[in-house]
Amino acid sequence: MKLSYVWFILSFARSCYGVKLLEANPDVKRLYDDLLSNYNRLIRPVTNVSDILTVRLGLKLSQLMEVNLKNQVMTTNLWVEQKWFDYKLQWNPDDYGGLEMLYVPSEHIWLPDIVLYNNWDGNYEVTLMTKATLKYTGEVNWKPPAIYKSSCEINVEYFPFDEQTCFMKFGSWTYNGAQVDLKHMDQLPGSSLVHVGIDLSEFYLSVEWDILEVPATRNEEYYPCCPEPFSDITFKLTMRRKTLFYTVNLIIPCVGLTFLTVLVFYLPSDSGEK
């Protein structure tokens, strides 16, 4: 609750800043009006209806909040980084005082409906609509924060020396692969695997888990609804439990009690200590 309140305050502050910036800079206001006055955010930004729009997707993990063994749920705090090209949002910087970048509310432009397929609590989409960054070339960058609860099969057979692997599957809910081609932000041509698929540069270390590997894979799947394939990016998060706490508070006391119990049988039967 507190985290959501903080995000709301930050979003409100940025919105106020954006309004003041538009009022103070006539070039920014004129560009904003020229780009969005007749813009239809419901239409996929392609010049031909048969064209494929490429959307790049990446995750930046901020915090591994919880791994719930009972409910088989992993809770993560991350940024969902998305990038695509919108030909309707291009301009010549010379016509607008050399302006090469513009921040706009994401509610005013077309957005790819990227959702977490294997969500646990029903929150498929990003809920905090932060601003998007527009470049004069038509490139759109959108990096909203999100807290996701994803279903994860957890095996505690080797607890507390266990390793767990959880997946997060992202894809477009509406557009098939012939309309939106979803690719990883760092995906190379001819390859569907990205070995470091999640950015950990802003990751707050977990007190319970060590992150071992975070690859990502692009897949294409067919569903009964449609003849065309749907592309998705599946992020794999492998983690190992930190055992120091359980070793000190569980294993060592149990071993010590077992040793003392066995030692009792070596005492003479008439010993008072026994």
In order, the DSSP letters of 162-184 are: -EEEEEEEEEESS--TTTEEEEE
Residue 246 is predicted with a pLDDT of 62
Tokens 């010549």 -> residue: 92
Percent of the chain with pLDDT over 90: 58
Higher pLDDT, 6 or 52: 52
Look at residue 22 and tell me whether its pLDDT is greater than 60: no
Segment 113-162, tens digit of pLDDT: 999 999 988 776 677 789 999 999 999 999 999 999 999 998 887 787 88
**What's the pTM value of the predicted model, to 2 decimals?**
0.79
Look at residue 28 and tell me whether its pLDDT is greater than 70: yes
Give, for 18, the enclosing helix (H) or strand (E): helix 2-24
Beta-carbon neighbour count of residue 71 at 10 Å? 13
Q: Which residues pair with 116 in a beta bridge?
A: 170
Nearest to 14 by CA among 143, 141, 131, 135: 131
Burial class (CB in 10 A: 0-12, 13-18, 19+), 81: middle
CATH of region 2-242: 2.70.170.10
Look at residue 2 and tell me whether its pLDDT is greater than 70: no
- Amino acid (one-letter) located at 102: L
Q: What is the mean pLDDT of the chain?
A: 85
Distances (CA, A) of 94 to 31, 39, 203: 12, 22, 40
Query: If pLDDT is split at 50, 70 and 90, which confidence band does 26 have?
Result: confident
Higher pLDDT, 248 or 201: 201
Look at residue 17 and tell me whether its pLDDT is greater than 70: no
- Amino acid (one-letter) located at 33: D
Segment 154-199, tens digit of pLDDT: 888 778 788 999 999 999 988 998 999 999 999 999 899 999 999 9
Segment 208-259, tens digit of pLDDT: 899 999 999 999 988 887 888 889 999 999 999 887 666 666 667 777 777 7
